[in-house]
Amino acid sequence: MIVCFDIGGSAIKGAVAHSAERIEPLGRRATPLDDFDAFAATIRDVIGEAGGKPDRIAISITGVVDPETKAIKCANIPCIDGGTLSADLSDILRLPVLVANDADCFALAEAGAGAGRGHRIVLGVILGTGVGGGLVVDGRLINEDGGFAGEWGHGPAVASMAGTPPIAIPAFDCGCGQRGCVDTIGGARGIERLHRTLHGKALSSEEITTLWQQGDAESARTIDVLVDLVSSPLALTVNITGATIVPVGGGLSNVAPLIARIDTTVRSRILRKFDRPLVVPGECRIEPGLIGAAILGLGGEAQ
């Protein structure tokens, strides 16, 4: 038995996992943001609901673990930012603790229990507030020791011209410190930014995608530019990784026509040709973070 967690800036969600198919939810608590002792105590309280001592703890979290120092970068939860979360919690709980990025855990969930089943190389993609990703090969997470593999949303990869007919696209500043990242135009905030740039109108991503599906010309132009901008870096990532399936999570994965457009465009820009969908909505619609953390924890010992 393991206890797995999905931790974000708002909530800590826990579950008991006996197998990848048997995951039983535990309590959901508010995330203590500025007090590590309170953070650790909340983790301990949830573990206490499990009804026995787990073999290990596995955590899906918003943040990235440095593969060499094991320090975590997690701006959303200041009390753990810069610390060695795995070692720190292990010392307190007296249990092995595995920690992985939430996008990596999404990829693990899809590879083990979702759209990636039966595929050797699974590239999990997040199109949510921003853009993220994770890579699983032969059922194992490439980032088991931490790192940035699969993070196709960052790096100056966005074209300066896009759409039909082409239009100039600014290189927007990104929160990672670079300019022109896919993250700046590919997620929900990116669609909104593109729409303001193209049409001077401030609409939500939900409004833009809904209007597009209703035939609105301005929203159709925004989606056309978005698909063009996102598809080339995603196609390059598929070429480099050799992924044979790309499950998509995050809020925009619920807009099926958008994912279908991206899929068609990506397949037209990659070396290997597929006569089936490649970029598909993820199948783990409920708690993929917990599922991925469970698979992580069930797959091996903490380092």
Which residue from 267, 277, 198, 256 is spatially nearest to 232, judged by alpha carbons? 267
Q: Which domains does the chain have, with CATH numbers?
A: 2-104+286-299 (3.30.420.40), 118-281 (3.30.420.40)
Count of Cβ atoms closer than 10 Å to residue 155 Cβ: 16
The four Cα atoms 47, 48, 49, 52 give a dihedral, to 10 degrees, of: 90
117-129 tens-digit pLDDT: 999 999 999 999 9
pLDDT of residue 121: 98
Tell me the average pLDDT across 247-276: 97
Here the tokens at position 248 are 């998509």
Cβ-based burial of 160 (10 A; exposed 0-12, middle 13-18, buried ≥19): exposed
Question: pTM of the prediction?
Answer: 0.93
31-69 tens-digit pLDDT: 999 999 999 999 999 999 998 889 999 999 988 999 999
76-110 tens-digit pLDDT: 899 999 999 999 999 999 999 999 999 999 999 99
